[in-house]
Amino acid sequence: MGMVFTHMTMSLDGFIADPQDGVADLFGWYEAGPVTVPSADERWSFAVDEASAGLLRTVLATTGALVCGRRLFEHTKGWGDSHPIGAPVVVVTHYPPAETAQWKTISFAGGVQEGVDRARQIAGDRDVCISSASIAQQALELGLVDEVIVSLVPVLMGEGIPYFANLADAPHRFDDPAVIEGSGATHLRYRVRRH
């Protein structure tokens, strides 16, 4: 069985999007270099530096399922039923869409534990990626997260959607990071310490 990790791009003051879900000030590193990394969907590719390309290639190659929340699912319109990571998506929501049969690569779960469990079944020996802040927070609190990846960009947003906030079971401690110095982002990989 693979690990469960979460990966988000974050501002220096801890935000993964502005208050309106905008990411323009954060996602510049995806277009900051000469190395093309194709995603699993031909509609998207990344142009990054070599160090960032290594991280992206690893994530794309090892992820067997993705977990997100309803807000991200709605904001992206379900990625047109083809997430760039090339893996099935489990959406955690108490209110699934009325029509779920139209989704071939997307399923719905009523809670975080159920969503991660289903993603693990789908992923098999591959990893599970959590890509929504609220789901990552809840999964961390439940002890389901093995690694936290932060792509830290040099911007202060002042306000927005935090990566981690209001954790009831804090502090959560991580091992020292593996540091990948990229262009436009410093990537930090933290293994989560178990209590």
Query: What CATH number does the domain containing 156 carry?
Result: 3.40.430.10
Please report which confidence band the pLDDT of residue 195 belongs to, taking 50, 70 and 90 as the band edges: low
Q: Look at residue 172 and tell me whether its pLDDT is greater than 70.
A: yes
Indicate the number of domains in the chain: 1
Please report which helix (H) or strand (E) contains residue 188, including its range. strand 186-191
Average pLDDT over residues 105-132: 96
pLDDT surpasses 80 at 96: yes
Burial 28-45 (b: 16+ CB within 10 A, else e): bbbebbebebebeeeeee
pLDDT score for 56: 95
pLDDT tops 90 at residue 1: no
> Whole domain around residue 168: which residue ranges?
4-191
Query: What is d(CA 126, CA 65) in angstroms, rounded to the nearest whole number?
Result: 8
Res 16: pLDDT: 95
Is there a contact between 69 and 139 (Cβ–Cβ < 8 Å)? no
User: Does the structure show a pLDDT above 90 at 125?
Assistant: yes
- In tens, the pLDDT along 49-74 reads 999 999 999 999 999 999 999 989 98
Q: What percent of the chain has pLDDT over 70?
A: 99
pLDDT in tens, 154-168: 999 999 999 998 888
Average pLDDT of the residues in 35-39: 92
Which residue's entry shows tokens 């067997």?
A: 64
Six token digits for residue 161: 């959607």
Query: pTM here?
Result: 0.92
Amino acid at 77: K
